[in-house]
A and B are shown apart, each in its own frame.
Chain A
Amino acid sequence: EADIYQTPRYLVIGTGKKITLECSQTMGHDKMYWYQQDPGMELHLIHYSYGVNSTEKGDLSSESTVSRIRTEHFPLTLESARPSHTSQYLCASSEWVGGEKLFFGSGTQLSVL
């Protein structure tokens, strides 16, 4: 059973607000990922981290930022939310060896009004 947690599960906010989506894992995985998922569309990688203090942008451009100060924690921040940011955000992690297998959190459904 995967031990990766995302909070909040749902978030409805107004335009211009700053938000942080939390993601934590207790498996000691080095690699962590943020995906954006829209209905009927494929998952798109927006951020990737291969360890503490290492982050890089994914294939899909995103105005969000991430940090990796601790192995278990990989929060995503939007400084000023807009309606175009409305989406589901999925956090995942994988081991260093056999790192192709992803463990996913349950996601945060973000709605920006």
Chain B
Amino acid sequence: AQSVTQPDIHITVSEGASLELRCNYSYGATPYLFWYVQSPGQGLQLLLKYFSGDTLVQGIKGFEAEFKRSQSSFNLRKPSVHWSDAAEYFCAVGARGSARQLTFGSGTQLTVLP
């Protein structure tokens, strides 16, 4: 069975600092990996996705993520965090073409200090 683990429930960083959110997955085939962000009172928005090719993918809002097959990881990074990045971040793994089998992690809550 596929699964996603986000080891950090809550992370606090200062504005302007760098950020890395961890994601580990378990999947039987070639994984399709996603990061979604949920701002307070809002639904989830896709930040970026990885299917194949270059293992470093760029997303919206200055985020990037790196796929490491050997470590079963897909960590999200941002070089300089802005106060508006405070939100909950969800990693997900699934199959191409349908979200029917998408499995989400339990999320990481990001707090940004001024």
Contacts and interface: CB of A to CB of B under 8 A. Distances in A.
Interface of A: 2, 4, 6, 31, 33, 40-43, 45, 48, 90, 92, 94, 97-102, 104-107
A97 B102 CA distance: 16
Interface in B30-67: 32, 34, 36, 41-46, 49
B95 A100 contact: yes
Interface residues of B, number: 26
Contacts of A43: 44, 90, 104
B98 A99 contact: yes
Contacts, number: 65
B97 A99 contact: yes
Contact of A33 (B41, B46, B94, B99): B99
The prevalent SS among residues of A at the interface is loop
Contact of A100 (B32, B41, B45, B104): B32
Contact of B43 (A31, A40, A92, A100): A92
B41 A106 contact: yes
